[in-house]
Chains A and B, each alone.
Chain A
Amino acid sequence: MKYILEVKNLSTAFKLQSGWYRATTDISFALRQNETLAVVGESGCGKSVTAFSLMGLLPEHGSRIDSGSALFKGEDLLTMPREKLRKIRGSAMTMIFQEPMTSLNPVLTVGSQIAEAVYYHMNVGKAAAKKRALELMDMVKIPDPKNRYNDYPHHLSGGMCQRIMIAMSLACEPDLVFADEPTTALDVTIQAQMIYLLNELKEKQQMSMVFITHDLGVVAHVADRVAVMYAGTIVETAPVADLFADPRHPYTRALLKSIPRLDKDNKDITPIQGMVPSIDNMPEGCRFFARCEKKDQCRPDEFPQLLPLKNSSNHQVRCLLCE
């Protein structure tokens, strides 16, 4: 079993007033054990939708998975019975969300919310679940877990709530954690602590992680590999060092050129002109075509495939000019 998770050609559609539209198209990626894949892209590019599709958390009405397979430890997440998926969810495969404050139940104590995950998956008694919850709180470096156990979410800061969420997701020693913008709602100093904590825990637990973010700075410090998404498709995927040193897709290149850096004077910054196409008005061909620097050399009507580069099979690009 080479990969923990192997996603092939996943497409998810949503229902809008005028019909069904693809939020993601042809998503394929694979994840090794103890590897972090950062999925990076702007809002609406389909990065969260991908994670929600795999977790089985899409809204029941108004969304559907059109095609694809997602093998998690050899079994297809998309076709397995709901009850089986539920048992995997929260134990072997978990998720951390963006808004720690609203993602915790306001009327239950934070400790019990962690213990609950243990209790329903690990076949242990309430006391053992509580003991495990305290252990987990200690592991995510919450000071004085015994007293914090009975606190309600509104007693804690955003950073502390996110630590609770992380503890909850680690409760049953998962193989795979989806982290959906886990640091976006936090201040930079707390974000840095959270990045450090997640990296440390990942090593300790030997788990794999799909880290969803819009912040290339964060990507640089958490990822082993990166998948860049644009308008519902993965346009480039590569090991993190390659992606930053040698970006191939025009979007990735433009993106890296358009973000200011704190350690430089930023004289050579150029913004990407234009806008992301909207979900109900996707072009037939390459979705970045209208904004692409090299569009004069390209064909507008052909939808490019995600193909490996000739010299490096690890580096895949969806661009007609890179084939």
Chain B
Amino acid sequence: MKTSTKQPLLTVNRLTKHFHIKRGFPKSVSYTVKAVDDVSFHVNRKEAFGLAGESGCGKSTVGRCVLRLIEPDSGQVFLQNTDITGLNNQELRSIRKKMQIIFQDPYSSLNPRRTIGQTLEEPMRVHKLCENDNIRDIVIDLLENVGLSAGVIDKYPHEFSGGQRQRVGIARALLFNPELIVADEAVSALDVSIQMQILQLLQNLKEKLSLSYLFISHDLAVVRYFCQRVAIMYLGKFVELGSVSQIFDEPLHPYTLTLRNASPIPDPSIEQAFAQLKGEVPSPISPPQGCHFHPRCAKAKDICSREYPKWIELGKGRGVACHLYG
């Protein structure tokens, strides 16, 4: 078992997903949205790996491709040694027990017509995980694990607050004793005081159940709090990857710097230079030539508008895609 401790739990290798849109008439032009473009990373055991970026950068698509809720175009996704991109439906179903997902919106992620008990019991019945008589006990155990009482089992989602629903969502993800959980903006829809409760719950579960997380969020402060390593995405590509202190204390890529400077820090004594920020995220249908960020970049050079920068490994697991470091 020596290898399994060193080997990453999840390895994503050159993952690519393009969406095709047809527009225009009578001569229709086919556009390609490179939602995820050549993305590679790994998630270690008992690690929370963050994926951060603004809306439309492709971070959620990565999460769904990893679970194959969306079929990737190319690239591999390894869960330990299994390449899940090559699995048939049968095999996929069994591997999905090892990988689960928590969704952003706690309101629409639970079927409003089914009780919490029904929602949680159904997967166990369908997959015949245990004897029918035990199901209820297991579900009650699980609910207590996520900080809900056994009494909620016959209630409907509308009787709960957002935070409680998210706990149910977490309980559902834990049903199969997964090894990896994709948390897609799992706390973004919650109020600040509830956010932290849920984050701590996830943290505790990580310790208790040896879980790993692929943690997708637009909120850099939350990522810094929750994750050990993080990748910053911009228009479908990774621009920088490293440990959270590396990325947020000494950002290398100008976009990482921009994001950091734009995130308001709850302290009026800190001056933040909001005035320097220019431009909007370009449409993913027609990203700029060369480095996607160069039109908004203060340090852009000639080459930036011509060539997309290569990925540069800087050691200690840190990498960046920027001509400034080439």
In the complex, chain B residues whose CB is within 8 Å of the CB of A292: none
Contact B196 A216 (CB under 8 A): no
Would you call A88 an interface residue if the criterion is a C-beta within 8 Å of the partner chain's C-beta atoms?
A: no
| CB-CB contacts below 8 Å: B212-241 with A | 218, 220-222, 224-226
In the complex, chain B residues whose CB is within 8 Å of the CB of A160: 280
| CB-CB contacts below 8 Å: B166-224 with A | 191-194, 196-197, 199-200, 218, 220-222, 224
Q: Which of B197, B220, B275 contacts A273 (CB 8 A)?
A: B197
Would you call A109 an interface residue if the criterion is a C-beta within 8 Å of the partner chain's C-beta atoms?
A: no
| CB-CB contacts below 8 Å: A234-286 with B | 240-241, 244-245, 254-256, 258-263, 265-266, 269-273, 275-276
Would you call B258 an interface residue if the criterion is a C-beta within 8 Å of the partner chain's C-beta atoms?
A: yes
CA A63 – CA B226 in complex, angstroms? 41
- Chain B contact residues: helix, strand, loop or mixed: helix
Would you call B259 an interface residue if the criterion is a C-beta within 8 Å of the partner chain's C-beta atoms?
A: yes
Q: Which of B55, B163, B220, B264 contacts A221 (CB 8 A)?
A: B264
Would you call B262 an interface residue if the criterion is a C-beta within 8 Å of the partner chain's C-beta atoms?
A: yes
In the complex, chain B residues whose CB is within 8 Å of the CB of A223: 268
Contact B281 A189 (CB under 8 A): yes
Q: Which of B222, B260, B266 contacts A220 (CB 8 A)?
A: B266
Residue of B nearest to A189 (CB): B262
Size of chain B's interface in residues, with CB distance under 8 A?
A: 42
Would you call A1 an interface residue if the criterion is a C-beta within 8 Å of the partner chain's C-beta atoms?
A: no
Q: Which of A193, A261, A276 contacts B266 (CB 8 A)?
A: A261
Given A189-B277, A266-B224, the answer on whether A215 and B267 have CB atoms closer than 8 Å is no
Q: Which of B224, B226, B245, B264 contacts A218 (CB 8 A)?
A: B264
Residue of B nearest to A278 (CB): B161
| CB-CB contacts below 8 Å: B246-291 with A | 248, 258-270, 272, 274-275, 277-278, 280-281
In the complex, chain B residues whose CB is within 8 Å of the CB of A255: 192-193
CA A292 – CA B275 in complex, angstroms? 39
Residue of A nearest to B261 (CB): A192
Contact B268 A262 (CB under 8 A): no
Residue of B nearest to A262 (CB): B221
Given A188-B218, A217-B263, A220-B264, the answer on whether A263 and B270 have CB atoms closer than 8 Å is yes
Contact A195 B54 (CB under 8 A): no
Contact B193 A189 (CB under 8 A): no
CA A32 – CA B107 in complex, angstroms? 40
Taken residue by residue from 60 to 98, chain A's Cβ proximity to chain B (1 for < 8 Å, 0 otherwise) reads as 000000000000000000000000000000000000000
Q: Which of B163, B225, B281 contacts A275 (CB 8 A)?
A: B163
Given A214-B191, A244-B268, A271-B200, the answer on whether A260 and B281 have CB atoms closer than 8 Å is no
Contact A192 B264 (CB under 8 A): yes
13 A-B contact pairs sorted by A residue (CB < 8 Å): A42-B193, A187-B55, A188-B220, A189-B281, A221-B268, A260-B221, A260-B225, A261-B266, A270-B196, A271-B197, A272-B196, A275-B163, A276-B191
Knowing that A188-B218, A271-B193 touch, tell me 20 more A-B residue pairs with CB under 8 angstroms.
Answer: A159-B280, A187-B281, A192-B263, A193-B277, A196-B277, A215-B264, A216-B266, A218-B264, A221-B274, A241-B269, A258-B192, A260-B221, A260-B226, A262-B263, A263-B265, A266-B224, A272-B193, A272-B196, A275-B161, A275-B194
Q: Which residues of A line the B interface, CB within 8 A?
A: 42-43, 157, 159-160, 187-193, 195-196, 214-221, 223, 240-241, 244-245, 254-256, 258-263, 265-266, 269-273, 275-276
The 8 nearest A-B residue pairs measured at CB: A217-B264, A271-B196, A260-B225, A192-B262, A42-B191, A196-B274, A216-B266, A187-B54
